Amino acid sequence: MNNRVKPIYGQITGWGAYVPEKVLTNHDLPAALETSDEWIVQRTGIRERRIAAPDETTCTLSLHASRAALAKAGIGPTELDLIIVATSTPDHHTPPVSSQLQHALGATDVPAFVVVTGCTGFVYALSTAYQFIHSGAYRNILVVGVELLSRFVDWTDRSMCVLFGDAAGAVVIQATEHSCGLRSFVLGSDGSQSEQIIMHGGGSARPFSQEVLDNRQQYVQMNGREVFKFATRVVGPTCEQAAAKAGLTLADIDWIIPHQANLRIIQTAAKLMDFPMERFVVNIDRYANTSAASIPLALTENLESGRILPTDRLMLVAFGAGLTWGAAVLELSPR
């Protein structure tokens, strides 16, 4: 008798994304910001971003992406065993937006929670989801990366508001006996740099008050230069560590899907890693930085266009508030 337990893998059977209809190009930005298309394109690669309509929220953005991912997977919301939402811009501090999404989907009684690790959120959430799959605890998991940053940036601060956009992306992971899924992951955080990206107001340290509002501390603030340096330093080594943990080298990776924060960060990382730029997935020009949504949005777009195949081997890599970072080697389907 063979007593060996068969490993449990997780196939990505569904994917979906949603971006709001409203396109805000660099040319549409208010003149009072004293910025220019030239500055934004040269420094960031961003040409336009999507802005949520007044009646849209983080929950409704997630709902569109989740429904698309479930439809693609061919399963209904009640078949889910778990929902994980990565976001730093929920509808409310409390309740968790994951429960709001669970209800809106009609996923009755399905457990749901939020992962808050800034722009690295999707890599953390995906790695977490796979632990439930690999342990055999759950068979069908929805992982969402969503952000509605246009409501959390100061629209009078040109150094911040031009950088971000709103979006949601989602994947469905289903347990399978066939070898595929998350091959490795690397996660990290360095709280000594927590002030580099911070929303000072509205938490226990500085509850909302007139003073918070007067100092515009209800908005996210970022030390762009420091975060830029950190990002270019961390992307290459993190990808190399994730590849090594999977028993691979970067030469075995078909596509790198990086968090879309700045085209220059991606170009610098490509050079440092000696990995061809045309094998990096880039869509920052059209959506700007959508934080935890950027990777599942880029993944969905490129799977839908046929540029990325489900049998390709992917490296996901992200960095953000915390500061946090993470990378994962992912094979959506058996190769």
* Candidate ranges 34-42, 83-91, 173-181, 241-249; the one touching ligand UT7 (CB under 6 A): 34-42
CA-to-CA dists, residue 255 to 155, 236, 331, angstroms: 35, 14, 11
Given the residues 119, 161, 180, 239, select the one marked as catalytic.
119
What x/- string results for residues 295 through 334 when contact with ligand UT7 is judged by CB under 6 A? -------------------------x--------------
Question: How near is the Cβ of 108 to ligand UT7 at its closest, in Å?
Answer: 35
Q: How far is CA 72 from the centre of its chain?
A: 20
According to CB under 6 A, which one of 231, 235, 288, 327 is a site residue for ligand UT7? 231
* Minimal distance, residue 221 CB to ligand UT7, in Å: 11
Check binding of 228 to ligand UT7 (CB under 6 A): yes
First to last CA, the chain: 30
Instruction: Tell me if residue 180 is catalytic.
Output: no
Interface with ligand UT7, residue 162, by CB under 6 A: yes
Supply the minimum distance, in Å, between the C-beta of residue 256 and ligand UT7.
16
User: Between the CA of residue 171 and those of 12, 78, 113, what are the distances in Å?
Assistant: 7, 16, 15
Q: Residue count at the site for ligand UT7 (CB under 6 A)?
A: 21
289 is catalytic: yes
- Report the distance separating Cα 30 and Cα 290, nearest Å: 21
CB of 261 to ligand UT7, least distance (A): 3
113 binds ligand UT7 (CB under 6 A): no
d(CA 69, CA 80): 12
CB nearer to ligand UT7: pick between 35 and 241: 35
Phi/psi for 44 (5° steps) reads -130, -25
**27, 28, 51, 199 from 37: Cα distances, Å:** 6, 9, 18, 27
The residue (of 222 and 314) whose beta carbon lies closer to ligand UT7 is 222
Q: Tokens in use for 331?
A: 């094979």
CB of 291 to ligand UT7, least distance (A): 6
Q: Look up residue 193 and give its two tokens.
A: 């740099």
Interface with ligand UT7 includes 227 (CB under 6 A)? yes
Site string for ligand UT7, 262-291 (x = CB under 6 A): x--x-----------------------x-x
Cα 125 to the center of its chain, rounded Å: 9
The catalytic position among 26, 140, 262, 289 is 289
Minimum gap (Å) between residue 323 Cβ and ligand UT7: 9
Which long-range contacts link 92-99 to residues 24+ away (Cβ below 8 Å)?
Answer: 93/202, 97/58, 97/59, 97/62, 97/146
Is 49 one of the binding residues for ligand UT7 (CB under 6 A)? no
- Closest chain position to ligand UT7 (CB): 224
Backbone angles phi, psi at 254, to 5 degrees: -80, -45
Q: Is residue 215 annotated as a catalytic residue, yes or no?
A: no
- Position 145: which residue type? G
The DSSP letter of residue 280 is B
Catalytic positions, written as ranges: 119, 259, 289
